[in-house]
Chain A
Amino acid sequence: MKLQFSESAFVPFASSVYDTAGLARLMGEIDGVKRLLFRGEEGTISQKAGTFLPAGFGAILMDIEKSGLESAGDSNQMRFLEALEEYLGALPLFKISLAFEPSVTFGQTLNNLVSRNVGRKVILDVNVDQFIISGAILEFNGKYGDYSLAKQADEVIGKTATQILKN
Chain B
Amino acid sequence: MIELLLILGPVLMLSVIALSVVVLVKLSKVERQIGLDSLASKKLKSKVAKRIQDEGAQILSSQLQKAVDDFSRDLKGHFTNLTITASKQSQELASYIKDQQESILKESQLLVANNLAKVSGEIESYKASQLKKIDSSIHTIVSAVAKEVLGRTISLSEHEDLVKRALERAKKSRFFE
Q: Is the interface of B mostly helix, strand, loop or mixed?
A: helix
The interface residues of chain A lying within 8 Å CB-to-CB of B133 are 164-165
B176 near A118 (CB under 8 angstroms)? yes
Chain B interface (Cβ within 8 Å of chain A)? 130, 133-134, 137-138, 140-142, 144-146, 148-150, 154, 156, 158-160, 162-167, 169-171, 173, 175-176
Measured CA separation A100–B166 after assembly (Å): 14
Contact indicator B144/A131 (Cβ below 8 Å): no
Minimum-distance CB pairs A-B, first 7 = A147-B166, A135-B166, A117-B176, A136-B166, A134-B162, A130-B142, A145-B175
Q: Is the CB of B159 within 8 A of A100?
A: yes
Q: Using Cβ atoms and an 8 Å threshold, which residues of chain A touch B141? A: 157, 160-161, 164
The docked-state distance in angstroms from the alpha carbon of A102 to that of B30 is 151
Give CA–CA (A152, B151) in the complex, Å. Answer: 12
* Nearest chain B residue, comparing its CB with the CB of A143: B175
Please tell me which one of the listed residues B146, B154, B163 contacts residue A98 in the complex, with CB atoms under 8 A apart: B163
> Quick one: which of A104-142 are within 8 Å of B by CB?
106, 110, 113-114, 117-119, 130-131, 133-136, 138, 140
Closest chain A CB from B8 CB (angstroms) = 94
Q: How far apart sit A161 and B171, CA to CA, in the bound complex (Å)?
A: 35
9 examples of A-B residue contacts, CB within 8 angstroms: A99-B159, A102-B160, A134-B150, A135-B162, A136-B163, A153-B145, A156-B144, A160-B141, A165-B130
The answer, yes or no, to whether A49 is at the interface (CB within 8 Å) is no
A100's nearest neighbour on chain B, judged by CB, is: B159
Q: Are B140 and A133 in contact (CB under 8 A)?
A: no
Q: How many inter-chain contacts with C-beta < 8 Å in the A-B complex?
A: 82
A149 to B146, CA, bound (A): 9
Contacts of A118 in B (CB 8 A): 176
Most interface-central of B142, B145, B154, B170 (chain A CB within 10 A): B145
A contact residues around B134 at 8 Å (CB): 161, 164-165
Q: Contact at B154–A131, with CB atoms within 8 Å?
A: no
Q: A138-B175, A164-B133, A164-B137 are in contact. Are A147 and B145 (CB under 8 A)?
A: no
Known contacts: A130-B138, A165-B133. The answer to whether A156 contacts B166 by CB under 8 A is: no
Complex CA gap A161/B167 in Å reads: 30
The docked-state distance in angstroms from the alpha carbon of A85 to that of B164 is 31
A58 CA to B156 CA, complexed, in Å: 33
A110 pairs with B163, CB closer than 8 A: yes
**How many of chain A's residues touch chain B, expressed as a range?**
20 to 34
Q: CB-nearest residue of chain B relative to A136?
A: B166
| Minimum distance in angstroms from B148 CB to a CB of chain A | 5
Interface centre among A102, A110, A130, A147 (most CB of B within 10 A): A147
Instruction: Check if B149 sits within 8 Å of A133, measured CB to CB.
Output: yes
Q: When chains A and B are docked, how far (Å) is the Cα of A106 from the Cα of B159?
A: 11
A71 on interface, CB distance cutoff 8 Å: no
Using CB atoms, name the residue of chain A closest to B157: A106
Q: Which residues from A are CB-within-8-Å of B148? A: 156
A77: CB under 8 A from chain B? no
Q: Are A131 and B145 in contact (CB under 8 A)?
A: yes
